[in-house]
Amino acid sequence: MTPGRYRVTLVLDGRPALHGWWNAEPVARRQFAGLVGQYGRPGTHITLADEETGETLTEWPARP
């Protein structure tokens, strides 16, 4: 099975803690939002990226 197009990455205190891939962007965005709700605190970085284009679609915390 190949990974999906949309990748969510959770980094805790500078260490990768979780990676997930989904084929549908809405599903990946729900997963991203769930991780922000569960792990959103100082020392956490969460990203949603489009693996096809290489673009970061969103991240937490948001960068200016």
Q: What pLDDT was estimated at residue 63?
A: 79
Residue 42 has pLDDT above 80, yes or no: yes
Q: Are 47 and 56 in contact (CB under 8 A)?
A: yes
For the stretch 18-29, pLDDT in tens is: 999 999 999 999
The domain segmentation of the chain, as residue ranges, is 6-60
What pLDDT does residue 47 have? 98
The answer to pTM > 0.75 is yes
Going by C-alpha positions, the residue among 38, 1, 57, 63 that lies closest to residue 10 is 38
Reported as a pLDDT band with limits 50, 70 and 90, residue 1 is low
Average pLDDT value over all residues in the chain: 94
